[in-house]
């Protein structure tokens, strides 16, 4: 993980979720990175994402001139990121890859969740993460003038996505639809 700047600490992740304090941070960090790339960068856009990374790595995020970025990070991004990191790591907390085998670990006095229970838990974690995503998107849309990098993406940069919820179906507004097939294409039929 050397060289990659994470937006949350191990303590923030463990204090804000049901992840036990004895879970090894080296196991968690790759999933924080995955969540940060999959969910945070897609909401901030590449330029704002890189700007915040630079402030964190440069130790300037706490400077008075960067107060807006610190508020964005602490009050919006971090809350969203901890829940998406938990969402990403959850399926792998029970399983370990060792040499040429994948093993399932359980404690002596515990009962593992069934697959259905684990899916329900993941769904609840996703709902919480999407709630915080909506807060982040609303804050950015209402305060975009505070973050000039939010609207300067081009070329191969990731443009910010203002959709907070995703449930596996494309229900975008028609003005964003373009030539995509939507549910309306299947519902608009005439019956004889």
Q: What is the pLDDT of residues 129-169, one digit of tens each?
A: 999 999 999 999 999 999 999 988 888 888 887 776 555 55
Instruction: Show Cβ contacts of residue 113 under 8 Å, excluding neighbours closer than 6 positions.
Output: 121
Give pLDDT, residue 166.
56
- 103: confidence class by pLDDT, cuts 50, 70, 90: confident
Give CA 8 to chain center in angstroms: 12
Give pLDDT, residue 173.
53
CA distance linking residue 144 with residue 11, whole number of Å? 30
Task: Reduce the DSSP state of residue 97 to 3 states and report it.
Answer: strand
Q: What is the DSSP letter of 55?
A: H
CA distance linking residue 137 with residue 142, whole number of Å? 9
Q: What is the pLDDT of residues 47-66, one digit of tens each?
A: 999 999 999 999 999 999 99
- 183: confidence class by pLDDT, cuts 50, 70, 90: low
Give pLDDT, residue 139.
96
Give pLDDT, residue 178.
57
Give pLDDT, residue 145.
94
Higher pLDDT, 173 or 94: 94
- 192: confidence class by pLDDT, cuts 50, 70, 90: very low
Please give the average per-residue pLDDT across 24-52, as a whole number: 93
- Tell me the pLDDT of the chain averaged across its residues: 84
Task: Answer yes or no: are the C-beta atoms of 53 and 149 closer than 8 Å.
Answer: no
- Please report, for the chain, the start and end positions of each structural domain, with discontinuous segments joined by +: 10-164
Higher pLDDT, 87 or 99: 87
Task: Reduce the DSSP state of residue 157 to 3 states and report it.
Answer: coil
CA distance linking residue 74 with residue 93, whole number of Å? 26
Please give the average per-residue pLDDT across 15-26, as a whole number: 83
CA distance linking residue 44 with residue 57, whole number of Å? 18
Please give the average per-residue pLDDT across 107-134, as a whole number: 86
């Amino acid at each position: 993980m050397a060289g990659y700047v994470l937006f949350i600490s191990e303590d923030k992740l463990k204090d804000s979720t049901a992840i036990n304090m004895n879970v090894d941070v080296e196991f968690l960090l790759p999933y924080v990175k995955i969540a940060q790339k999959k969910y945070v960068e897609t909401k901030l856009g590449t330029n704002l994402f890189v700007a915040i990374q630079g402030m964190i790595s440069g130790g300037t995020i706490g400077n008075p001139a960067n107060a807006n970025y610190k508020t964005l990070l602490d009050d919006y991004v971090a809350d969203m990121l901890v829940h998406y990191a938990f969402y990403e790591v959850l399926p792998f907390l029970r399983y370990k890859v060792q040499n040429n085998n994948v093993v399932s670990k359980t404690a002596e006095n515990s009962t593992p969740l069934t697959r259905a229970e684990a899916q329900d838990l993941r769904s609840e974690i996703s709902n919480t993460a999407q709630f915080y995503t909506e807060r982040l998107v609303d804050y950015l849309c209402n305060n975009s003038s505070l973050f000039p990098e939010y609207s300067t993406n081009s070329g191969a940069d990731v443009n910010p996505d203002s959709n907070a919820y995703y449930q596996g179906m494309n229900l975008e507004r028609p003005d964003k639809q373009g030539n995509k097939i939507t549910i309306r294409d299947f519902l608009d039929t005439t019956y004889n």
